[in-house]
Amino acid sequence: MALPNLSTADRQAALQKALQVRRERAEVRAKLKNGSMSLKQCLDKADDKIVGRMKVSAVLESLPGIGKVRAAAILEELGISPTRRVQGLGVRQSEGLLKKVAK
């Protein structure tokens, strides 16, 4: 599949949009890290286009006390793919995450 030929203006608009999305995701990760947003609040926003498209592993790694290794272990234990996004989680998977992280 060939890439579309974008004009300079279209390319700049796409770059600005991507930059804005990255900033908003970083904001969500910062809120998770400092405790102003809980994992439950984050999972409840799965319909939001910013939060819903975040990888579950990135969300877990943003929580205090959870790094890459522990996040990977939690995902493996619950049978969640490391590439799964928040909007793709099932009800049981969300409940399992909340129970596991609350311990």
**Reduced to 3 states, what is the DSSP secondary structure of residue 9?**
helix
**Reduced to 3 states, what is the DSSP secondary structure of residue 39?**
helix
pLDDT level of residue 103 (50, 70, 90 thresholds):
low
Domain positions in the chain: 8-102
CA distances from 2 to 5, 6, 9 (A): 9, 12, 20
Question: Do the Cβ atoms of 86 and 59 come closer than 8 Å?
Answer: yes
- pLDDT, tens digit, 9 for 90 and up, residues 21-80: 999 999 999 999 999 999 999 999 999 999 999 999 999 999 999 999 999 999 999 999
Measured in degrees and rounded to the nearest 5, phi and psi for residue 55 equal -75, 140
Amino acid at 40: K
Q: pTM for the full model? A: 0.86
**CATH 1.10.8.50 is held by the domain 8-102:** yes
